[in-house]
Amino acid sequence: MSEKPYFCDGVDKAPQRSLFNALGLTREEMEKPLVGIVSSYNEIVPGHMNIDKLVEAVKLGVAMAGGTPIVFPAIAVCDGIAMGHQGMKYSLVTRDLIADSTECMALAHHFDALVMIPNCDKNVPGLLMAAARVNVPTVFVSGGPMLAGHVKGQKRSLSSMFEAVGSYDAGKMTLEDVEEFENKVCPTCGSCSGMYTANSMNCLTEVLGMGLRGNGTIPAVYSERLKLAKHAGMQVMELYRKNIRPRDIMTEKAFLNALTVDMALGCSTNSMLHLPAIAHECGIDLNLDVANEISARTPNVCHLAPAGHTYMEDLNEAGGVYAVMNELAEAGVLNTDCMTVTGKTVAENIKGCINKDPEVIRPLDNPYSKTGGIAVLRGNIAPDSCVVKRSAVAPEMLVHEGPARVFDSEEDAIAAIRGGKINAGDVVVIRYEGPKGGPGMREMLNPTSAIAGMGLGSSVALITDGRFSGATRGASIGHVSPEAAVGGPIALVEEGDIIAIDIPANTINVKVSDEELAARKAKWQPREPRITTGYLARYASLVTSANTGAILRQG
């Protein structure tokens, strides 16, 4: 980039420089590019408690490479702490708050470049959305994943903890057992150790080209992550000099790569909300119909928790995201000419990145399945689509028919599950929990964990217009669109209706005639909003359907 930093010269910028003097900046610092360090550090989210150390490392990297680093904050919610109460209504909605506030800070202060330091769940896509909007040279470095816990000689993670509660409710585990899980499943700082939403999005940040190698997999407590942060600070200055910007990197081909690796890794279903929303900010319409096309040609090669018994540290040792990408490139299913924050193409980045552990990353000729880890389903209950993490579904539940057990809130469903009122073969329907109806589209980890903990994971399905945690496993089908709050067909399902699920065929239907559904629709009345004040009410008035990424309408 040939031009000088925005504030460094000219009488007309003297008022701004006077305020930089108030910050203690020297003239030498004013003459260098001003690099915003977006810190998601806080003391309530375990995945963020180490970010203050990474901020200092990034600042050092920026300074070493000739920039002036300036820190400003971004918020983050811990989905695990927010789970199962009103707090979960505030998780997804923070994605837009993060994007909006970061856009405001970055553009109001005219930063020349940015380094984003996210880690958990909505914090990562929110900052990727902001990066696309602001579109100045930007590098991401995440806080990193937690190490797995160890309970009774086995590696464990947060999903094991939620399922332990279900096992206790079913009389299959003692209180002492639950307390042992409580004290051991989350042994370090970092984003929870399975392929949950945070780790999914941090891995996909690498695939999109916005993070350096290891962004998604180097554990939070490894010193290697501090080195990664320094390199991120140095690399943003290289991007500044070459004028490489987020929209040069996050192209349509890059998003197709992200969907491809998503299928191979078996990422959280929440990626099906976030990738379209990020693409939208880049001016790209990422239609989820393409997901099944990509799945059909992309084998699922990883079964990290909750789908299996390997964890992020294992993926890191096996070669990380680049090793997976290299195998996919050799199979011809990856676009390798995309630009990345390294200043090099995908092909250059992944060259020589071999799979070091075929038990963690299955070879393409021996995958867990020949199709990808996520499936998009359609049918008369979800004409605009719904989503399931296919790789975490028991084989016997890939095709299932059963009677609907209908609940109009998560709380009612949990009470029935824990009360022993759900039987093998049932299909639990939880509705009025979508983006608008919730509002906020809560995650349903509590009910799915209760089902799994009670031993019903291979015989009970759950469908919802809400969403699921990346820690959810089983025949859990979310993002049903249109949602119940706008009169979607899920609002018309009645207790005892037979629901037919065929994941290999990508279909889901309630076995009720079109005439009967039309009669029910004629009688349907919208519900009164659950929340009528504050940010959630404003969010509910603007949010669109899950199949569009739950983006907000403009005006």
Q: Under a CB-based contact definition with an 8 Å cutoff, are residues 268 and 204 in contact? A: no
Provide the Cα torsion 114, 72, 206, 244; round to 10°.
Answer: -10
Record the tokens describing residue 198, joined without a space.
């945070």
Concatenating the DSSP letter of every residue in 8-45 gives: SS-GGGHHHHHHHHHTT--HHHHTS-EEEEEE---SS-
**Residue that has been written with the tokens 């089983």 in this structure:** 474
Best CA proximity match to 435, nearest among 256, 257, 276, 290? 276
Instruction: Give the β-pairing of 507-510 and 113-117.
Output: unpaired
Q: Is the dihedral of CA 89, 267, 292, 407 positive or negative?
A: negative
Which residues neighbour 1 within 8 Å (Cβ) at sequence distance 6 or greater?
Answer: 240, 241, 242, 243
Record the tokens describing residue 506, joined without a space.
């990508």
DSSP 8-state symbol, 490: G
What are 535-539's contacts with CB under 8 Å, separation 24+?
535/93, 535/97, 536/89, 536/90, 536/93, 536/439, 536/440, 537/439, 539/93, 539/96, 539/439, 539/440
Provide the Cα torsion 212, 218, 223, 229; round to 10°.
Answer: 20
Q: Around Cβ 392, how many Cβ atoms within 10 Å?
A: 29
469 is catalytic: yes
Best CA proximity match to 259, nearest among 276, 246, 281, 277? 276
Record the tokens describing residue 150, joined without a space.
């160890």
Provide the Cα torsion 49, 52, 58, 63; round to 10°.
Answer: 180
Pairwise CA distance, residues 498 & 513, whole Å: 11
Question: Roughly what angle, to the nearest 10 degrees, separates helices 123-134 and 197-208?
Answer: 30
Pairwise CA distance, residues 341 & 508, whole Å: 40
Concatenating the DSSP letter of every residue in 38-85 gives: EE---SS-TTTTTHHHHHHHHHHHHHHTT-EEEEEE-----HHHHTTS
Instruction: Give the β-pairing of 375-379 and 154-156.
Output: unpaired
Concatenating the DSSP letter of every residue in 189-229 gives: SSB-SSS-HHHHHHHHHHHHTSB-TTTTTS-TTSHHHHHHH
Pairwise CA distance, residues 142 & 129, whole Å: 15
Measure the CA angle with vertex 295, ends 294 and 301; round to 5°.
120
- From the candidates 167, 295, 385, 469, give the one annotated as an active-site residue: 469
Three-class secondary structure of residue 507 per DSSP: strand
User: Any idea which residues carry the catalytic annotation?
Assistant: 469
